[in-house]
Structure 1
Amino acid sequence: MSNSNSTPLMARVTLGRALRRLRDEVNHLTLADVAATLSCDISLISRIELGKRNCSQQHFTKLMDLYGVEESERDRLAELHAATREQRPPWWARYSEVITAEYERFLGFEAAASEVFEYQVGILPGLLQTERYARAVIGAGFASLGPDQIDALVEVREIRQRQRLWDSDQPLSCCYVLTEAALHFQVGGPQAHQEQLQFLLELQERQNVELKVIPYAKGEEGAQIAAFRIFRFADDDVPDVAFGESVAGSLTMDDPRDLRRLHRLFSNLSAAALDPDKSRDLITRIKNKED
């Protein structure tokens, strides 16, 4: 099984996509047709295909029979189905008291992704944040949380960084575009700001991290309202998924039309940004000016 399917979440997503293809493209059945055959709600079949719900063994067997799946394909899908029911909890399970369901879903996608394309307006990407920067951001964004809860969320961010950038045999390939404004905000105070800018300069030496900055001079070309990130997976059977950010929280987007629009938007933002070398020069100038 590929690395993309190494978590129950990604196994559900991959299985759901395969089941949707068998229903729609191979057998030309509607959700209503399948729901009637299985004597269940349409919403159940839809959620299974979207990877948002596990498929029971009974329903899986009936679907294989309904779709006329050949033995070799059935064996492959049975392996995926078994992976969706894996009981070994992910590393973030021990932080369940502070992790929302949406954040847990995000962590599952990030853990399995091979590439991320991220645009940020006013803060730096989570994987690029120092401990002091992360603590200041989390403390301001979750003011109702107690010190222990903030500590736990900072730990989660540090583990994400370590597992996806430092300790992995297959580190995440990161393409970041951010506005110049994100470099000027002194999050955590002047000393923490200097530390963070130095950390960015060090990160740019890593082959798997590309960081590009949109300067103020680009004006409306870099003035998008909301941050977003797109995850891409090594397994071609797993579609891209995006997360948008707003005051109401994070929004998951997996509709192909939304993803095409976001990829096009990211390409335009990247074209408006300075190249990595000039971006490094800008970060250095800001750091030296405020030192």
Structure 2
Amino acid sequence: MHRHGRLSRKRRAHPRPTSEDVDRQVAVRLEREAILRQEDGPDVSFILSESALRRSIGDAATMRSQLLHLAEVGKQSNVALQVFPFDAQTYETASFNFIILRFGDDAASDVIYVETFTDADYLDRPDAVRAYTRLWDRLRAAALGPVESRKLILRMADDRKR
């Protein structure tokens, strides 16, 4: 008689978050949003790929609500929100996820924060900071302006009503 061993459970690189993890992530995001809404909140600029805005997470009503919220955030005076459209006329792509952290007016103290699938890195070498700053400038120039970006986001939200 042949006896089979137990089947091993497939391991995931990132297990599904627990409800406590989700609650903690939501709390952190709400705190960050509250900081943005403060009268003396930081100036922030975002470039979002059109593909990220069109990717459905949840049902149509959820997506519509998220897009309307994003359009509202983009109206804040300290927020510059741009969309990198599918038809952007550039050789650059919007597939790089990075954040330029600037402390005060001195660009010499800039730090680049880059997230990967399993980790994150902080880059402060001058050559890396210059490369990412140039990439940011090219992406920003190729993206829709804030007004056009907001109009596109609102059109996308309107499309979700149907």
TM range (shorter): 0.7 to 0.9
CA contact 1:186–1:192 (8 Å) conserved in 2: no
Where in structure 1 are there 5+ consecutive unaligned residues? 1-140
Q: Which has the larger radius of gyration?
A: 1
Q: Structure 1: which amino acid aligns with 2:88?
A: K
Partner residue of 1:153 out of 25, 32, 54: 25
2:52 is the counterpart of 1:182 = yes
Partner of 1:206: 76
Partner of 1:166: 37
CA shift, 1:221, in A, is 3.6
- Give RMSD over aligned pairs: 2.2
2:118 is the counterpart of 1:248 = yes
CA shift, 1:234, in A, is 1.5
2:91 is the counterpart of 1:215 = no
TM-score by length of structure 2 reads: 0.82
TM-score by length of structure 1 reads: 0.47
CA contact 2:93–2:139 (8 Å) conserved in 1: no
Partner of 1:288: 158
Number of corresponding residues: 149
Where in structure 2 are there 5+ consecutive unaligned residues? 1-12
CA contact 1:245–1:251 (8 Å) conserved in 2: yes
CA shift, 1:148, in A, is 1.3
Higher RCO, 1 or 2 (CA under 8 Å, sep at least 6)? 2
Distance in 1 (alpha carbons) for counterparts of 2:45 and 2:24: 27
Greater helix percent: which structure? 1
Distance 1:237 1:174, change over 3 A: closer
Distance in 2 (alpha carbons) for counterparts of 1:260 and 1:227: 16
Deviations 1:191-224 (A, max 9, x none): 2211111011111221001111111112664524
Distance 1:143 1:193, change over 3 A: farther
- Percent sequence identity is 30
